[in-house]
């Protein structure tokens, strides 16, 4: 046998084989990765909570108010499937928007209360807050004043135009096919409540009582 006729793999051959192995492994991992649950109110509530937290951090970092807003079609629609962000001091402007209908086609959300607990219109400001003199009614541009607005201030707190609050926490209800009128949810399945304290802390709880139809 002529051992000189035998040779090893070239660098190009090794690189091609390794590339194919990595590609196949990547495709396999993607196929095994669980997909987003497009029917889960908890998944959408988690996404909304993340956006609230991001807005709060932006307000603190940049030193100006940042608001997360739900469009209401001029005040005629209390169930939303998208949000946008207002930023700035004297002349706040829309800097970002996001729609959720594609990822969560059956879900909606809105600032809402429900029968049973005692709600207040607005949450009390935390002690010594620097936002006490902040007037959200004059800050929000006229084109957006009918929308639902949660405005985070540079000290980390949040102010709204007297949106529903329970035990000092603003409430955003996420549900499947929700019906909201007069800031009260009367129907909707698989509900999750996002809670925002006046200090700007954000959390969420699966389900509300009593259960909705």
Domains of the chain: 41-206 (3.55.40.10)
CB atoms within 10 A of CB 211: 10
Q: Using an 8 Å Cβ cutoff, are 45 and 188 in contact? A: no
Q: Is 32 helix (H, G, I), strand (E, B) or coil?
A: helix
Q: What pTM value is reported for the model?
A: 0.81
Question: Measured between alpha carbons, how far is 196 from 149 in angstroms, rounded to an integer?
Answer: 12
Question: Measured between alpha carbons, how far is 88 from 27 in angstroms, rounded to an integer?
Answer: 43
Q: Is the dihedral of CA 197, 200, 205, 210 positive or negative?
A: positive
Question: Measured between alpha carbons, how far is 207 from 52 in angstroms, rounded to an integer?
Answer: 20
Q: Quick one: which of 116, 186, 120, 122 has its CA closest to 157?
A: 122
Tens of pLDDT along the chain (213 residues) come to: 454 555 555 767 657 666 676 666 656 554 444 445 566 899 999 999 999 999 999 999 999 999 999 999 999 999 999 999 999 998 899 999 999 999 999 999 999 999 889 999 999 877 656 666 788 999 999 999 999 999 999 999 999 989 999 999 999 999 999 999 999 999 999 999 999 999 999 999 998 865 665
The 8-class DSSP code of residue 80 comes to B
Question: Measured between alpha carbons, how far is 119 from 168 in angstroms, rounded to an integer?
Answer: 9
């Amino acid at each position: 046998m002529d051992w000189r006729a035998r040779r090893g793999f070239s660098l190009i051959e090794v690189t091609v084989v390794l590339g194919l192995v990595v590609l196949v492994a990547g495709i396999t991992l993607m196929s095994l990765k669980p997909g987003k649950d497009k029917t889960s109110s908890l998944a959408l509530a988690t996404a909304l909570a993340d956006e609230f937290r991001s807005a709060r951090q932006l307000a603190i970092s940049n030193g100006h108010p940042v608001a997360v807003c739900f469009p209401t079609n001029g005040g005629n629609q209390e169930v939303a499937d998208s949000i946008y962000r207002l930023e700035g001091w004297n002349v706040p402007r829309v800097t970002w928007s996001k729609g959720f209908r594609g990822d969560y086609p059956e879900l909606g959300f809105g600032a809402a209360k429900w029968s049973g607990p005692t709600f207040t219109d607005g949450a009390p400001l935390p002690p010594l807050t620097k936002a006490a003199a902040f007037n959200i009614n004059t800050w929000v541009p006229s084109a957006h004043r009918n929308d639902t607005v949660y405005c985070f201030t540079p000290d980390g707190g949040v102010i709204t135009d007297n949106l529903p609050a329970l035990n000092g926490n603003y409430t955003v209800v996420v549900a499947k096919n929700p019906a909201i009128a007069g800031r009260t949810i009367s129907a909707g399945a698989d509900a999750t409540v996002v809670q925002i304290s006046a200090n700007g802390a954000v959390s969420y709880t699966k389900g509300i009582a009593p259960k909705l139809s």
